[in-house]
Structure 1
Amino acid sequence: MSGQGFTTKVVHSDRLLNQEHGAVHAPIHNSVPYVFEDAQGLIDVFQGKQAGHVYARSSTPTLEALQYKIKQMDNGVATVLFSCGMSAIVSSFLALLKSGDHLICSIFLFGNTTSLLGTLKGYGIEVTMVDATDIEQVKAAKKVNTRMVFVETIANPATQVCALDEIGDFCESENLVYVIDNTITSSYLFDATTVKASLIVTSLSKYVAGHGNALGGAVTDTGLYNWESYPNIFPAYRHGDSAMWGVTQIKKKGLRDMGGCLSSQSAHLISVGSETMELRMQRQCQNALALAEFLDSHPKVAKVYYPGLKDHAQYSLANRLFKDFGAILSFDLVDEEDCCAMLNKLDIVVSATHLGDNRTLALPVAPTIYHEMGLETRQKMGISESMIRCSIGIENTEDLIEDFRQALV
């Protein structure tokens, strides 16, 4: 199916795994233990000599089907699933980095990820945060002990776009693991293998699932990094196909040891939701651009942050790398306007924290999801104190614009 379109591959993924009774969806397997009539089979699965399921923390047939689907979507060689996106990120960091290692990160990161970086420092992992829209800052941050570079595609909430392709070339030349959080663009809008990503992290809760009813996360190994050269791979995992060493360590030291496992019920919801991702994201991106253009011309809006606007600092880069400009936008009201009062006037738009939902969601950024960061860090991240972030849904475009028009009166 390699030559087929994105949605065609996703919709038929489960069916082509030959589900029992001719089912087109992978069934939900709720069993925690899995029985072996021959005890040697249990031993072989434990030792990685044979494929199979032994315990639901590590895998179930339902999870296996979703892993196959995400691997296809990401154009990777293997995928590991987690209970949420943050579990995927922390498990990858702690499985692959050790005390004394150095990590370079974009300063434009999701608030919880920024908080996590402070935790890593407490474990003896050095972290340098840079403006990753500028490749020279990324290069200047490299040290002898640098092991990894971590960035997001489109930053939440101020929509900066990192120098993704230049960072990929740099990581390749310096033998660094290049980790891209592809949540905001998703694999539909952006194929991270085109910029030489080593690992792709995604919060499946957002655009993949789409309906605000399931948490999940994923890490996909693209097969582009040579794990034989990575010093932190445990000896126990240095056997067999070296392309699988990194993802095996993430699964063993991250998923198994840290326990951030995805349930089969959530995996099923994510899998079904993923079938309409292309259709949803086309409408969401269309709505986001139309709303951004409306807000950009409104007298009560001081600034709009959306990479699809031609005056956005990374418009040309986003236009070149992404299929569309995404469905997140933020804006600042003029000084005398109260953001909470404006949000309370909205009828269609929901005041809630989440991304990628079918419904349009909005919230005041500084006093909520980035409150813990403090003023100085918010300013470094380009977040104003009056910023409102919107996750644009699939409503009719004219209804969305009319809702903002009446709320801005």
Structure 2
Amino acid sequence: MTRDITTRILHADRLGAVEHGAILKPLHIATAYGYATAEELTAVFQGQQSGHVYGRQGNPTTQALEAKISLMEDAVGTVCFATGMAAICSTMMALLKSGDHVVASRFLFGNTASWMGTLSQLGCEVTLVDATEAVNVEQALRPETRMVFVETVANPRTQVADLEGIGQLCQQRGLLYIVDSTMSTPALFQPKAVGASLVLHSLSKSICGHGNALGGSISDTGLYDWDKYPNLMPAYRKGPPTAWGLLQIRKKGLRDMGATLSAEHGHRIAAGAETLPLRMERACANARALAEWLEAQPLVSKVHYPGLTSHPQHARAKALFKDAGALLSFETVEGVDPFEVLNALDLVIKSSHLGDNRTLAIPVARTIFWEMGAEQRESMDIADSLIRVSVGIEAQQDLLDDFAQAFATLNGSRNQSGMTGTK
């Protein structure tokens, strides 16, 4: 019997033995683990039997979370990290070497784009392309290309990558295909469906949902043939080949880099994940209603949301995703400072986070994308007036009313000064 994702997440912990009959995995805070014999310790250390040796490589609590995420992504395994950025950086450091080449979307989240610049300084060249068309990825490929990295929905401009086309291309060329599905979440989309090799999440966002924990994960879908990957070390080519990639990521990424997810945060994320589908259903409905409302406002010049028919990749998003997501952004008309809009909002919180139960908004160009400079922002289509909104699960009318009163205040101010906005 195939059960719905909501049911499977809720009962994931009970698929294995849970101490004392607890209905969810308890919190384990031990740093080290002891064994009755040296032989048993050695067997665990060498990976010949399951167990834990040292907390830097995980513990029973984070292991349970990894099993839950693997279930959500229909993956063969998952490794968790302290943050989403830790998952990205550690994975690439574990799998790449000097002289390798990476093709990535030019619409990447600001911190991820910053990491790509750092990766270039370490001897791995990175080519950024418009990933909304697979042909752009194909034209950037080289003999030394090892992986392609894209996001399902770009943050903050919501471009939707040509996920199927890129997946087919990577399969044909034998390339590792890494998909950051943070904005989509497993509730809306499984990247395995488009041929993703590895699926990345910032667990701090919607999967946790409550803004009270940091975490990241990388899941192996089982679709990639690791026997053909040239950078795998002989020590990790043991057991079934489907496990080789994650083993090297866990050892050379998690263990060596030390970006360990704490047991406490792993426990909070696992609990938050139980309501992911329910929260996403509400947040997506709110986002769609808000996007449609904003599109009709005279002080708004553009609204970016895949659920709108005006979005360039609307048809693609509709075909791939269960819903269009909880992230949107909009640009104000000339003469309207985004600070004015944000300061007029009462319910909406001015914050840089995403995927929270509460609706959050931020002026993009002067905060999270400020460091990269005007030229790079222009190349990523980030307007100076762009406001990003991470839509929460508030009562929909309360959310719309807050934006309505804010825009009414702005309209009143502009009318008093003799200014008018035009679409």
TM-score by length of 2: 0.96
Match of 1:61 in 2: 60
Residue 391 of structure 1 corresponds to 390
Q: Distance in 2 between matches of 1:210 and 1:66?
A: 15
Cα distance in 1 for partners of 2:243, 2:135 equals: 32
Match of 1:38 in 2: 37
1:1-400 equivalences under 5 Å are 3-400=2-399
Deviation of 1:160 after TM superposition, in Å, equals: 0.2
CA distance in 2, matches of 1:246, 1:18: 27
Aligned to 1:147, what secondary structure does the other structure show?
strand
In structure 2, C-alpha distance between the alignment counterparts of 1:239 and 1:70, rounded to whole Å:
24
Distance across 2 between alignment mates of 1:293 and 1:101: 44
Structure 1 counterpart of 2:96, one-letter code? L
Q: Which amino acid in the other structure matches residue 159 of structure 1?
A: T
Q: Whole-Å Cα distance in 2 between the matches of residues 238 and 342 of structure 1?
A: 55
What is the CA-CA distance between 1:112 and the residue it aligns to? 0.3
Distance across 2 between alignment mates of 1:148 and 1:98: 12
Instruction: Find runs of 4+ consecutive structure 1 residues off by over 6 angstroms.
Output: none
Q: Deviation of residue 24 (structure 1)?
A: 0.6
Give CA deviations for 1:77-106 in whole Å, capped at 9, x if unaligned.
000000000000001111001000000000
Cα deviations across residues 133-188 of structure 1 (Å, max 9, x unaligned)?
Answer: 01111100000100100000000000000000000000000000000000000111
For 2:11, give the aligned amino acid. H
CA distance in 2, matches of 1:59, 1:158: 35
Instruction: Compute the displacement of 1:15 (Å).
Output: 2.1
Give 1:18 shift.
2.3
SS in 2 for 1:335: coil
After superposition, give the CA deviation of every residue in 1:43-102 in whole Å (9 maximum; x if it has no partner): 111111111001111121111111100000011000000000000000111100100000
Residues in 1 aligned to 2:26 and 2:237: alpha-carbon distance in whole angstroms = 34
Looking at structure 1, the residues matched to 21 and 388 of structure 2 have their Cα atoms a distance apart, in angstroms, of 44
Q: Distance in 2 between matches of 1:98 and 1:118?
A: 15
CA distance in 2, matches of 1:29, 1:154: 35
SS in 2 for 1:408: helix
Q: In structure 2, what residue type is equivalent to 1:359?
A: R
Which secondary structure does the structure 2 equivalent of 1:14 belong to? Answer: helix
Q: Quick one: percent identity of the two aligned structures? A: 53
How many residue pairs get matched? 408
Give the aligned residue type for 1:157: P
> Separation in 2 of the partners of 1:65 and 1:236?
26
- The 3-state SS of whatever aligns with 1:151 is strand
Distance in 2 separating the partners of 1:189 and 1:255: 28
User: What residue ranges of structure 2 are gaps of 5+ in the alignment?
Assistant: 409-423
Distance (Å, rounded) in 2 between the aligned partners of 1:263 and 1:364: 31
In the alignment, what sits opposite 1:403?
Answer: 402
In 1, Cα distance between the equivalents of 2:296 and 2:340? 20
Aligned CA RMSD, in angstroms, stands at 0.7
Cα distance in 2 for partners of 1:16, 1:148 equals 34
Gaps of 5+ in 1: none
Counterparts of 2:187 and 2:381, CA distance in 1: 27
For normalisation by structure 1, the TM-score amounts to 0.99
Distance 1:96 1:355 in 2: 28
